[in-house]
Amino acid sequence: MQRAAVLLTLISTSAALRPEWMPGDYSQTVVGAQTFVEDYNSTAEEVFYFSTEANWKYNTNLTVHNSQQQVIAFLEELEFTEAWCQKAKDTFPDSFIETLNPEVQIILSNIKVLGPANLPTSERERYNTILSQMDSIYSTAKVCRSPEECWSLEPELIDIMANSRSYKRLLYAWEGWHNEAGDHLRSLYPEFVELSNKAFRMDGFSDTGAYWRSLYESLTFEQDLENLFIQLEPLYQNLHAFVRRKLYDFYGPKYINLKGPIPAHLLGNMWSQNWNIYNMMIPFPDKTNVDVTDTMVAQGYNATHMFRVAEEFFTSLGLIPMPDKFWDKSMLEKPSDGRDVVSHASAWDFYNRKDFSKLNRCFMDNEGLIDAVQAFDCSSCDFMNAKKIEKLAKQYDKHIDDELLQIHKNC
């Protein structure tokens, strides 16, 4: 209890934004808008660096002190976002923004999105509570075969989905998890939709979906997706038919209809995202295996070497090399000095154009390569916008919730 009280005191005393990070006054002119955008850019760089650094410190060393520092930094960032948003709303009405050049238009309209922070305090609190409840339902849902034997999503259910080849066991796991998570989320979701739509309508969007689609900055978004789908469709249909036939050969006509859809629980992944069943599908068994894991193990690959090889690939495509700081500060393996760290992989942009991304990777597996892709991707971004603010805010919200939960548990 005492720790929670300390944390809450810190939260309430840390809410003021330091003066050098406050917006100045700007005129409603082209020059005013330009100056605002430039000032926002240079200030956001400092604020985001400050809060990302604090978040990184916490993620790579989970102590109460680091958590408190991280919460303070997050709240200051929220203050920053709201202060500059409010300033933009007060100074630059939409009708004026429409007269500016497209680049400045996009930046200003993104800064002007306040989202859930538009809501009055009580609704905002309710919104945050719903989000954290949904988060917790999703991450704690368990499938119990008996009071003694319960499976969590990680590691048991994910493992069953990937490795079991028993139709019934897979169905039990899939259905059980969807019932557990889904049924409990169902009662909260409509209220989330209502509050979220209300918030984004206050920013001028017709609903939350319109806001989400606006992040793609394309006026022809639906058509773009349709075109991509049309391009992929022939390949997808062939792949689908091939996979269905292989599943039919294994599970038989009782379970697989050669003219129907594939049951979602047979694809090796709870969400059918990765079709994690290659060993049942090998099209040319006599050809060299495309899975290079064994070869990598035989050649003595370690984590650093994997990342070096990934970098060679990306620089060969013409991308710039990772800065030295990436190699110095990234956490590629779980530290052995006894500290607790967040153990899932993530790529970080520190928003200062210097140490763009560090990587937090504790366990080496196939996903390591995907993370490397994300990290390298970050080295090409150079401007922060509402998208990133939102992503960051979500990330932080979650950490605060997790931390509060943890502290409550410790009491």
Ligand X SMILES: *[C@@H]1O[C@H](CO)[C@@H](O)[C@H](O)[C@H]1NC(C)=O
* Residue 25 or 337 having the CB closest to ligand X: 337
Handedness of CA 200, 203, 206, 211 (dihedral sign): negative
Q: Is 143 helix (H, G, I), strand (E, B) or coil?
A: strand
Segment near ligand X (CB under 6 A), from 240-248, 275-283, 284-292, 298-306?
298-306
- Site for ligand X contains 302 (CB under 6 A): yes
State in angstroms the smallest separation of the CB of 43 from ligand X: 10
State in angstroms the smallest separation of the CB of 30 from ligand X: 8
* Residue 274, token pair as written in the block: 């990765």
Instruction: State the binding string over 15-34 for ligand X (x if CB under 6 A, else -).
Output: -------------------x
* Residue 365, token pair as written in the block: 């597996």
With b meaning 16 or more CB within 10 Å and e meaning fewer, what string describes 195-224?
Answer: bbbbbbeebebeebeebeebeeeeeeeeee
State in angstroms the smallest separation of the CB of 83 from ligand X: 19
* Residues whose CB is less than 8 angstroms from the CB of residue 324 and which lie 6 or more positions away in sequence, other chains included: none
* Residue 48 or 127 having the CB closest to ligand X: 48
* Residue 4 or 130 having the CB closest to ligand X: 4
- Site for ligand X contains 295 (CB under 6 A): no
Question: Between 64-91 and 30-59, two packed helices, what is the crossing angle to 10 degrees?
Answer: 170
* Residue 130 or 296 having the CB closest to ligand X: 296
Could you list the residues known to form a binding site, using ranges.
216
Handedness of CA 208, 210, 212, 215 (dihedral sign): negative
> Which of the residues 273 through 292 are near ligand X (CB under 6 A)?
none
- Site for ligand X contains 337 (CB under 6 A): yes
* Spatial contact of 200 and 208, defined as CB atoms under 8 Å apart: yes
Q: CA-to-CA distance for 350 and 62, rounded, in angstroms? A: 19
Q: CA-to-CA distance for 368 and 359, rounded, in angstroms? A: 10
Could you list the residues known to form a binding site for chloride, using ranges.
216
* Residues whose CB is less than 8 angstroms from the CB of residue 351 and which lie 6 or more positions away in sequence, other chains included: 44, 45, 48, 49, 52, 384, 388
- Site for ligand X contains 41 (CB under 6 A): yes
Instruction: State the binding string over 86-105 for ligand X (x if CB under 6 A, else -).
Output: ---------------x-xx-
State in angstroms the smallest separation of the CB of 65 from ligand X: 4
* Residue 226 or 333 having the CB closest to ligand X: 333
* Residue 129 or 406 having the CB closest to ligand X: 406
Q: C-alpha angle 345/350/354, rounded to 5°?
A: 120
Contact footprint for ligand X (CB under 6 A): 34, 38, 41-42, 45, 61, 63, 65-66, 101, 103-104, 302, 304-305, 337, 339, 383
